[in-house]
């Protein structure tokens, strides 16, 4: 993997000279492996605020699993849950929401039938599971501080679904499923690993790139003025369009190929170092962008 600093094997487009918005992933990026925010990262987040640069979070997590960190970070900005498919205003009301077609949800459930895979459904603030006692459900419930709803048959809950997740401890099998299901649902859904344990299936345009475009538009700036930080395959859509793309040090070469810069891993203050050494030097004096979302029924940016 590449070392800390500018990525010699990164994208051909040059990194932005000025950054006016930061969009960050959470797990594996802002958060340590034990799901904490370090004092150094909190200080870096405050430095962004002092520089007049908003910090927005976009995650595969459900909204409740994101909101639990806002007070600690002292942020009151829009955010994107379910891989960016559901965007929320700073007051936690829904800005916009994309959902999978019911038949696509049904097919996704049919594809996630291996005995070791437990499928979950997400709809707004709802998390629907087959077995609330499943070890992965229990672990995730503690991580995101959310209580799932156990339903008898997920196939009866296929309407207005923002995300289908396949969960398993079999990492190798999940990588194979990412390729297989991605092919089966091509043109109808986005399919990407968000961690070693979770495979996310979201509406075709519900990815972090969509969220970044929407957030930039709502702040009245160009995507070229946005810095994005991430570590997993589901972060690639936003890294691919960011004015400044930063990959975490533990990310794979596939992810790092989209990054202008590589920081250290999330076990070694990678997020704080990315903000301090790559982003803040590009936060030149400029009016702080103002969040002014278009009407909810307006067409999303291309």
Give the C-alpha separation, 52 to 284, whole Å: 10
Mean pLDDT, residues 223-249 taken together: 97
Q: Residue 302: pLDDT above 50?
A: no
Provide the whole-model pTM: 0.86
Percent pLDDT > 90 in the chain is: 80
Give the C-alpha separation, 44 to 271, whole Å: 8
Average pLDDT, the chain: 92
Closest CA to 21 of 162, 223, 187, 156: 223
Give the C-alpha separation, 183 to 128, whole Å: 25
Cβ pair 282, 268 in contact under 8 A = no
Band (206; pLDDT cuts 50, 70, 90): confident
pLDDT at position 162 is: 94
**pLDDT digit string, tens, across residues 247-268:** 999 999 999 999 999 999 999 9
**pLDDT digit string, tens, across residues 98-118:** 999 999 999 999 999 888 899
Domains of the chain in start order, with CATH, are 5-97+208-282 (3.40.50.1000), 102-203 (3.30.1240.10)
pLDDT at position 124 is: 83
Query: 96: which residues sit within 8 A by CB, 6+ positions away?
Result: 86, 87, 214, 296, 300
- The mean-pLDDT minimum among 111-120, 211-220, 273-282 falls in 111-120
**pLDDT digit string, tens, across residues 6-17:** 888 889 899 999
């Amino acid at each position: 993997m590449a070392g800390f600093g500018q990525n010699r094997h990164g994208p051909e487009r040059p990194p932005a000279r000025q950054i006016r918005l930061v969009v960050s992933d959470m797990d594996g990026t802002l958060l340590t492996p034990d799901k904490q925010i370090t004092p150094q990262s909190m200080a870096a987040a405050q430095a962004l605020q002092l520089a007049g640069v908003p910090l927005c979070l976009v995650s595969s997590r459900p909204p409740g699993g994101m909101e639990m960190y806002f007070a600690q970070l002292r942020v009151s900005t829009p955010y994107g849950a379910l891989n960016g498919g559901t965007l929320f205003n700073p007051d936690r009301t829904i800005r916009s929401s994309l959902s999978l077609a019911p038949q696509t949800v049904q097919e996704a459930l049919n594809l996630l039938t291996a005995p070791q895979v437990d499928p979950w459904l997400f709809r707004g603030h709802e998390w629907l599971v087959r077995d609330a006692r499943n070890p992965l459900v229990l672990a995730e419930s503690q991580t995101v501080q959310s209580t799932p709803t156990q339903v008898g048959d997920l196939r009866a809950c296929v309407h207005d679904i923002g995300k289908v997740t396949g969960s398993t401890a079999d990492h190798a099998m999940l990588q194979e499923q990412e390729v297989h299901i991605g092919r089966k649902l091509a043109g109808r859904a986005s399919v990407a690993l968000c961690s070693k344990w979770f495979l996310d299936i979201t509406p075709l345009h519900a990815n972090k790139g969509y969220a970044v475009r929407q957030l930039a538009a709502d702040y009245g700036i160009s995507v070229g003025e946005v810095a994005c930080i991430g570590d997993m395959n589901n972060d690639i859509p936003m890294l691919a369009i960011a004015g400044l793309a930063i990959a975490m040090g533990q990310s794979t070469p596939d992810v790092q190929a989209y990054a202008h810069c590589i920081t250290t891993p999330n076990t070694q203050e990678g997020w704080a170092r990315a903000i301090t050494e790559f982003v803040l030097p590009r936060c030149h004096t400029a009016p702080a962008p103002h969040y002014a979302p278009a009407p909810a029924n307006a067409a999303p940016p291309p």
